[in-house]
Amino acid sequence: MSEMKHLLFSTDLSEESGAAFSRVIEMSRRKGFVVLILHVAAKRAKGLEDRLERFARPAIDRGVEVEPLVLEHSDALWTILEVARWRGCDAIAAVEGELADALRRSTRLPVWPIKKR
């Protein structure tokens, strides 16, 4: 099996997601992951890209290579899976809960549910 390099982290930009992202940052620093930070919005709001850039800042400050990405789509699950495939991600991380469970049922990629706190 080849070494994992690209991790997709799905975020809703909530405080819980931020806490989970802190764990992803530390794991990514240790493992050398490049992190694609994906926010899927049903409707693109003004300033969303700026919010995601601010969300990503702690990772950048810690030396983790990140790529923030905002996409507009009504189906977050489908969008996350397609982006992971399209970008050649080796694994997906998401805050534990319904979305992480649905991702685990829908892909052969490793899905890492990250604890909320």
Q: What is the pLDDT of residues 103-114, one digit of tens each?
A: 999 999 999 999
Q: Which residue has the tokens 């507009």?
A: 72
- SS3 category, 41: strand
Domain 6-114 matching CATH 3.40.50.300: the answer reads no
- Which structure tokens are listed for 106? 């829908």
Q: What is the pLDDT of residues 64-93, one digit of tens each?
A: 999 999 999 999 999 999 999 999 999 999
Stated pTM of the model: 0.94
Give the DSSP H/E element, type plus range, for residue 112: strand 111-114
**Backbone region of residue 17 per phi and psi (left: phi > 0; alpha: psi in -120 to 50; beta: other values):** alpha
pLDDT at 1: 45
Query: 67 and 83 in contact (C-beta within 8 Å)?
Result: no
